Amino acid sequence: MINIELVGKSALVTGSGGGIGKATALELAEAGADVIICDINKEAAEATAEEIFTMGRKSRAFTVDVSDAIQVQEMVKAVIADFNKIDILVNNAGITRDGLLIRMKEENWDKVLSVNLKSVYLVTKAVSRYMLKARSGRIVNIASVIGLIGNAGQANYAASKAGVIGFTKSIAREFSSRNITVNAIAPGFIRTAMTDALSDEVKSQMLESIPLGCFGEPSDVANVVHFLVSGMARYLTGQVIHVDGGMVM
Q: Which residues are catalytic?
A: 157
Interatomic CA distance for residues 131 and 180, integer angstroms: 7
What is residue 133's three-state secondary structure?
helix
**DSSP-derived pairing of the beta strands 88-91 and 59-63:** unpaired
Q: Is 56 exposed, middle or buried (0-12, 13-18, 19+ CB in 10 A)?
A: exposed
Q: Which helix (H) or strand (E) holds 129?
A: helix 119-134
Name the strand (E) or helix (H) holding 62: strand 59-63
